[in-house]
Every structure is written in structure tokens, then in C-alpha cells.
């Protein structure tokens, strides 16, 4: 159905759909603010940055197609628009534009490279939380035989995949929704790596993997249970699925969520009747957010001198939000799932 939408109209629907989600809070904005033409653009500039198209034609186009309407000065979805958004958010995804912007800016930024060295111990153009200590812990937990063939789901621009490959001797296929990230990944000179653009909401591979890893990516699944099921079905019998998973709760949230046996991911695995093991790395996660925020505060002038304040701002608003998160409302784990042989 979405083939009659222009690229501008697709972006407009994605922005409107995300306008009242937690991404508004990162910007210090109320979720309940009215969606006006200008406020949607402001939101789009903050999250899509250099990927934001000229949306001037999108508003009349979508109105004509009866996918949006204006009510009391605010733009809202019609029923058809809401279902069109849900479809688009799983296929095209909001994140693709966000991450295309991030990877296109960060790969050229010396300040960002230094920031990664200081926060993660090595510049692998990271976006998630895993520093080299956590990555080594993942590899020790996995204990991969050299030559095993695996998937890195949400590989970003491939530098983490390259790091994992060189330390394990395994072969990897890295996939990510961001074409910008994959373009950069394909330039890595390592014959044991291959990359392709792929959406974890619709995974399909021609051969099964010995293992699948996912570094801080499962949060972005449209349907976590479906993505985990797809991962397990793309493993050979006896294969391993392993991932990093952080869990946040707010004041109304239920404490047991923060136990490794009861996070959002653990719940999915239990529903799938899939036994699992985990390691608790909550303290490493808490330290990470504080360090990230502090390094960013220290390095603002470096980003500014490069003309990269938009990138600084993008990284800072997330780090600052989570550095302030109450320590006992947050937990972090590495999970390992062994598919029965
Ligand atoms: C927090 S970043 C983690 C990247 C990298 N693994 C790291 O730890 O730095 C999340 C990654 O998930 C990717 N992503 C988001 N939605 C996705 C989807 N539907 N399918 C595949 N990748 C997705 C993003 O493009 C981004 O590279």
C-alpha cells in the first residue's frame, strides 16, 4: 500500500508517529504538545539531521490522501494514516533515518573518534553501550570455535564486527537497517566479513548460522518476540544466540523487570520456552552513561571546533538522560541462548 507515498510523505508520517514517543522527552519536550507543521520539522531536524527531506509538499499530499487531518491546530493521523504509519515503522523504520544521519556524521568526525576512544577504550564508531571490556566478556561467554559462522544483528558500520572477528577467528555477516552504515562497513578490509542492509523486523537468510550476536540493537525491534523467534529459527541446531540487553524502569515500573530472569527479553524467551543464561553487567552500564555524559561535556569545544555540534547534541541528549536515570531503575545483562542440538 505504501508504494503510492513519496519519500517526503513517508518521512512526514514517521515523524508524526514518533512525535509523542520518548524521543520527545530526550529533547526536553512534552509528549502532549501539539503537532504543528513547525514542531514536526523541529523534531525532524533533531532526529533525522542531514537525512531530513524538504517536507513542504508532504503535508498537502498526505491530507489529500486522507492519511492526516488538522484538528484544533494540531496535525493528527486519520485511522488509515495510523495503520500506514505502523506498517512504515516496521518496514522503512524511523531508525533508518536517525542512524543514517548518525553514521554519516560520526565517521568523518575526529572529535567523535576521540570520544569513542575515551568512552569505549577504542574507536569502533560505537553507538551502543558496549566498551571493549564488555565485548571481550561477550566473546568469553560465547567461547566460539574458530571458523564458526555468525551474524552480527545491528552491526552499525562494521567496526565492532571486525573487532569481534579478529578476536574470535569466526566468520561474520553483519546486517543493519542503515545503508550509510553498511556502505562504510563494506570498505573494511577483512575477508572473513560480509555486510548487507537488512531489517530485523523481516529477517531472511539462505543458510543457518552457528551463532548470532546482537550488540544493543534488540530495543529497536518492532516486535521483539518475532525478531527473537526469527533469530532462533536462523540458527542451526546447537547454535548460540547472544546479546546485550539493558532494561530501564520508571517510578511506576515493576522492580522484577530488573532481574535477569524477568527483563523484556527474558519474558520473550520464557514465552518461547527457550532456556537461557545471563551475566549481570548492570554496574558497567551505569558507569557507561555517566562516563559518556562527562566525556561529552568535556569535549563539547572539540565538536564545536569541527562544526559538529549537531552530532554532539545528538549524543549528549541521550547520554544526559540516562546518566540521570536512578541507579536502581536500571539493569544490564549479556544473555546466552543455546538452541537445542
Ligand atoms: C544502538 S545502535 C548499536 C550499533 C552497534 N551494535 C553498537 O553497539 O555500537 C543500534 C543499531 O541498530 C540498527 N537498527 C535499528 N533498527 C534496525 C532494524 N530494524 N534492523 C536492523 N538494524 C536496525 C541501527 O541502525 C544501529 O546501527
CATH of the domain at 87: 1.10.10
174 lines ligand 1 (CB under 6 A): no
245 lines ligand 1 (CB under 6 A): no
Same domain, 212 and 257: yes
Same domain, 120 and 213: yes
Same domain, 175 and 83: no
At 196 the three-state DSSP class reads strand
Same domain, 18 and 119: no
Same domain, 273 and 126: yes
CB-based burial label for 18 (10 Å; 0-12, 13-18, 19+):
buried
Q: Which of 95, 231, 92 is nearest to 152 (CA)?
A: 231
User: Cα separations (Å) of 34 from 75, 78, 302, 308?
Assistant: 8, 16, 36, 30
Asked, for residue 105, whether it belongs to a domain, the answer is no
Same domain, 75 and 157: no
200 lines ligand 1 (CB under 6 A): yes
Asked, for residue 197, whether it belongs to a domain, the answer is yes
Same domain, 85 and 119: no
User: Residue 63's domain spans which residues?
Assistant: 2-92
Asked, for residue 313, whether it belongs to a domain, the answer is no
Same domain, 215 and 179: yes
Instruction: Give the pLDDT score at 255.
Output: 74
Q: Measure the CA–CA gap between 193 and 281, rounded to whole angstroms.
A: 28
Asked, for residue 269, whether it belongs to a domain, the answer is yes
Asked, for residue 193, whether it belongs to a domain, the answer is yes
Asked, for residue 300, whether it belongs to a domain, the answer is no
Q: Measure the CA–CA gap between 337 and 212, rounded to whole angstroms.
A: 10
Same domain, 78 and 139: no
Asked, for residue 306, whether it belongs to a domain, the answer is no
Same domain, 127 and 224: yes
CATH number of the domain residue 258 falls in = 3.40.50.150
Q: What is the atom index within ligand 1 of the atom nearest the CA of 156?
A: 27
CB-based burial label for 334 (10 Å; 0-12, 13-18, 19+):
buried
Number of H helices, E strands in the chain: 14, 9
> Of the residues 23, 91, 97, 156, which should be mutated to test ligand 1's pocket, given the most ligand atoms within 8 Å of the CB?
156
Asked, for residue 47, whether it belongs to a domain, the answer is yes
Same domain, 19 and 126: no
In the reported structure, the alpha carbon of residue 73 is separated from the centroid of ligand 1 by a whole-number distance in angstroms of 35
67 lines ligand 1 (CB under 6 A): no
Same domain, 254 and 166: yes
Q: Measure the CA–CA gap between 70 and 79, rounded to whole angstroms.
A: 13
220 lines ligand 1 (CB under 6 A): yes
State the total domains in the chain.
Answer: 2
Per-residue pLDDT of the chain (341 residues; tens, 9 = 90+): 445 999 999 999 999 999 988 888 888 888 888 999 999 999 999 999 999 999 999 999 999 999 999 988 899 999 999 999 999 999 999 999 999 999 999 999 999 999 999 999 999 999 999 999 999 999 999 998 888 999 999 999 999 999 999 999 999 999 999 999 999 999 999 999 999 999 999 999 999 999 999 999 999 999 999 999 999 999 999 999 999 999 999 877 777 889 999 999 999 999 999 999 999 999 999 999 999 999 999 999 999 999 999 999 999 999 999 999 998 899 999 999 999 99
Amino acid at each position: 500500500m505504501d508504494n503510492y507515498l513519496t519519500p517526503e510523505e513517508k518521512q512526514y508520517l514517521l515523524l508524526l508517529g514518533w512525535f509523542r514517543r520518548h524521543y520527545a522527552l530526550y529533547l526536553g519536550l512534552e509528549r502532549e504538545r501539539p503537532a504543528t507543521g513547525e514542531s514536526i520539522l523541529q523534531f525532524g531536524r533533531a532526529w533525522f539531521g542531514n537525512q531530513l527531506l524538504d517536507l513542504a509538499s508532504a503535508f498537502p499530499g498526505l491530507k489529500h490522501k486522507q492519511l492526516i487531518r488538522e484538528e484544533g491546530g494540531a496535525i493528527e493521523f486519520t485511522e488509515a494514516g495510523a495503520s500506514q504509519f505502523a506498517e512504515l515503522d516496521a518496514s522503512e523504520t524511523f531508525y533508518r533515518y536517525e542512524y543514517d544521519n548518525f553514521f554519516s556524521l560520526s565517521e568523518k568526525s575526529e572529535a567523535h573518534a576521540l570520544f569513542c576512544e575515551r568512552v569505549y577504550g577504542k574507536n569502533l564508531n560505537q553507538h551502543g553501550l558496549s566498551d571493549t571490556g564488555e565485548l571481550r566478556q561477550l566473546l568469553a561467554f560465547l567461547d566460539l570455535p574458530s571458523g564458526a559462522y555468525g551474524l552480527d544483528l545491528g552491526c552499525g558500520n562494521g567496526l565492532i564486527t571486525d573487532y569481534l572477528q579478529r578476536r574470535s577467528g569466526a566468520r561474520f555477516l553483519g546486517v543493519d537497517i542503515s545503508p550509510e552504515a553498511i556502505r562504510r562497513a563494506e570498505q573494511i578490509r577483512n575477508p572473513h566479513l560480509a555486510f548487507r542492509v537488512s531489517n530485523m523486523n523481516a529477517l531472511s537468510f539462505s543458510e543457518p548460522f552457528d551463532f548470532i550476536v546482537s550488540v544493543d540493537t534488540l530495543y529497536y525491534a518492532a516486535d521483539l518476540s518475532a525478531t527473537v523467534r526469527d533469530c532462533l529459527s536462523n540458527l542451526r541446531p546447537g547454535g548460540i544466540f547472544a546479546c546485550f540487553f539493558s532494561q530501564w524502569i520508571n517510578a511506576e515500573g515493576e522492580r522484577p523487570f530488573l532481574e535477569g530472569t524477568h527483563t523484556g527479553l527474558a519474558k520473550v524467551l520464557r514465552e518461547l520456552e527457550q532456556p537461557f543464561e545471563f551475566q549481570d553487567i548492570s554496574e558497567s552500564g551505569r558507569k557507561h552513561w555517566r562516563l559518556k555524559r562527562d566525556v561529552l561535556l568535556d569535549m563539547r569545544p572539540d565538536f564545536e571546533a569541527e562544526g559538529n555540534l549537531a552530532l554532539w547534541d545528538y549524543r549528549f541528549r541521550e547520554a544526559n538522560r540516562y546518566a540521570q536515570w536512578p541507579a536502581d531503575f536500571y539493569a544490564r545483562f549479556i544473555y546466552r541462548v543455546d538452541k537445542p542440538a
